[in-house]
Amino acid sequence: MQNAALARLGLDWRYLAFEVHPDDLREVIQGAKRMKFIGLNLTVPHKLLAIPMMDALDETAKTWGAVNTVRFEAQNTEGNWQPLRHFKESVPREIRAQGFNTDADAITRSLREDLGVKLEGAKVLLLGAGGAGRVAALKLASEGVAELFLVNRTMDKAEAIAAEIRARFPKVKTTVGYPKPPAMALDLLLNATSLGLKPGDGSPLDTGKFDLKNARAVYDMIYNPAETALLKTAREAGCRTANGLGMLLYQGARALELWTGETAPVDVMREALVKHIYGH
Ligand code: ATR
């Protein structure tokens, strides 16, 4: 999707994938800086490890405690830090790495644009309390959901996130576990577990504890397969559904905007993603 976007923007840049051992991350970031890379994306497990390796952290990285986008910057003649794209002739020797997080905004953009969910005042059941689940829970709380139910196989992790939300967003009613009977209608059920990624995986939802008929919309962060067991049963129960392709798309679109300073050609990027992932 990035290379399709770069072609559309007429930039002679390339987006490449590198497999990096966590022990080598610091050296790799330093090397990219020295080679005057425009920027980087980081994924598991580098998003947390990179925090102390950044020379500056944008508010998004501070707020969500993770870096998925790095932008290399240098100072212009007025001493202001600018993306490297800004330097047409020669790049100053001193370069800094600024860390951003574009994942959190991508979650809510996808929920709004791909699923049509209104988050303010919503009641939400969130499955999963790993890295993605934590950011989703905090981001939903920051958007003013009314009530959050947090469910995770390892309950302690859900408890820890609930405590963080109570401290940072006390207006949000946060409960660990499924809604108790009588059945309550929820605006959104969101899967942030990795259950559903592998062929033969079941659903992360305990249908004995929550009936999908009581959810208006269901979002699965997993985008491959396109329809997980959870999304299939949700669709059959009459829920609106969407998978995590939009999250992947929007975090990438925002990263591209940070590097280029231009509006991302989202349609071109979506088309490239769909073609690459689903082959059509
Ligand atoms: P990510 O960065 O994608 O969030 P993660 O931090 O490893 O990855 O989190 C994975 C999430 O999927 C966790 O909520 C995990 O539950 P635990 O906290 O109990 O480990 C959940 N998960 C993974 N495999 C699962 C399974 N077989 N059944 C239920 N939940 C599962």
**What is the average per-residue pLDDT within 205-211?**
96
Instruction: Pick the catalytic residue from 47, 118, 173, 209.
Output: 47
Ligand 1: centre distance to CA 49 (Å)? 19
Give the pLDDT band (50/70/90) at residue 280.
confident
Alpha-carbon distance 169 to 138, whole Å? 8
The per-residue pLDDT for 181 is 82
Ligand 1: centre distance to CA 131 (Å)? 9
Ligand 1: centre distance to CA 128 (Å)? 6
CA Rg value for the chain: 20
209: annotated active-site residue: no
Ligand 1 contacts CB of residue 141 (under 6 A): no
How far from the centroid of its chain's Cα atoms is residue 190's Cα?
13
The region of weakest confidence among 44-48, 148-152, 248-252, 253-257 is: 44-48
Q: Is 215 helix (H, G, I), strand (E, B) or coil?
A: strand
**What is the average per-residue pLDDT within 91-111?**
97
Which residues belong to CATH 3.40.50.720 in the chain? 105-243
Protein residue with least CA distance to atom 12, ligand 1: 193
**What is the average per-residue pLDDT within 148-155?**
98
Alpha-carbon distance 195 to 231, whole Å? 12
Question: How many Cβ atoms sit within 10 Å of the Cβ of residue 257?
Answer: 15
End-to-end alpha carbon distance in the chain = 14
Protein residue with least CA distance to atom 30, ligand 1: 153
Beta-bridged to residue 70, according to DSSP, are 40, 99
Which residues belong to CATH 3.40.50.10860 in the chain? 2-101+252-278
Ligand 1 contacts CB of residue 128 (under 6 A): yes
- 7: closest CA among 261, 274, 264? 264
Q: Which CATH class is domain 2-101+252-278?
A: alpha beta
Q: What angle do CA 51, 52, 54 make, to 5 degrees?
A: 75
pLDDT digits (tens, 9 = 90+) for 2-59: 999 999 999 999 999 999 999 999 999 999 999 999 999 999 899 999 999 999 999 9
Protein residue with least CA distance to atom 2, ligand 1: 131
Tell me 126's DSSP state. E
Q: Is 241 helix (H, G, I), strand (E, B) or coil?
A: strand
The per-residue pLDDT for 89 is 84
Alpha-carbon distance 38 to 14, whole Å? 10
CATH of domain 105-243: 3.40.50.720
The per-residue pLDDT for 183 is 83
